[in-house]
Amino acid sequence: MASQKEKLSILSEMIEFAKVDGQIKEPEFNFLKGVADQLGVDRETFNSLFVSEVEHVQPKSQADRILQFHRLVLLMNVDAEQQELEVTKLHNLGLSMGLPPMAIQRVLAVMNDYPGGVVPPKTLIDIFKVHYN
């Protein structure tokens, strides 16, 4: 289980990603709140992340980095809008996590094959497995 510091870093990164287009829409906020609930972050702490910065903590395991990348893909598509700025930012975040560039590109290419851009977890994992074998 992730530490409190790691949980806040995950959420903070997601909030900053949601802000990349200048605003956080209601579906994005609701998705973020759902992730906060899943991580066990209380409402007050969650709300504070919108106005204060926390130390960025890179997920330790490759699986955790892939999970965070998947959360970001879902967040980008939750409002049914994909802007080039968001796609570029997502690609760069994946690279900064140390994920294979070809796997990132493949995920970004196939997400449009699924309703709402929701890449099934098994598909995502299979894409990354190819690049780690």
Q: State the residue for tokens 């994946």.
A: 94
**Whole-angstrom Cα distance, residue 41 to residue 7?**
8
Reported as a pLDDT band with limits 50, 70 and 90, residue 132 is: confident
> What letter would DSSP give residue 76?
H
Percent of the chain past pLDDT 90, that is, above it, reads: 67
Q: What is the pTM (predicted TM-score) of this model?
A: 0.90
Between CA 39 and CA 58, with CA 21 as vertex, the angle to 5 degrees is: 40
CB neighbourhood size of 22 (10 A)? 6
Average pLDDT over residues 59-66: 90
Q: Which tokens sit at 90?
A: 């997502």
pLDDT band at 60 (very low <50, low <70, confident <90, very high): confident
**Average pLDDT for residues 2-24, to the nearest whole number?**
91
Average per-residue pLDDT in the chain? Answer: 91
The one-letter amino acid code at 95 reads L
- Cα–Cα distance between 20 and 79 in angstroms, integer? 13
As for how many domains the chain has, the answer is 1
CA–CA dist 77, 73 (Å, integer): 6
73: which residues sit within 8 A by CB, 6+ positions away? 90, 107, 111, 117, 119, 124
> Which parts of 18-109 are beta strand (E)?
none
Distance, CA of 53 to chain centre: 17
Least confident of 7-21, 44-58, 71-85, 95-109: 71-85
Q: Which residue has the higher pLDDT, 1 or 101?
A: 101
- By residue range, what is the domain housing residue 120? 4-132
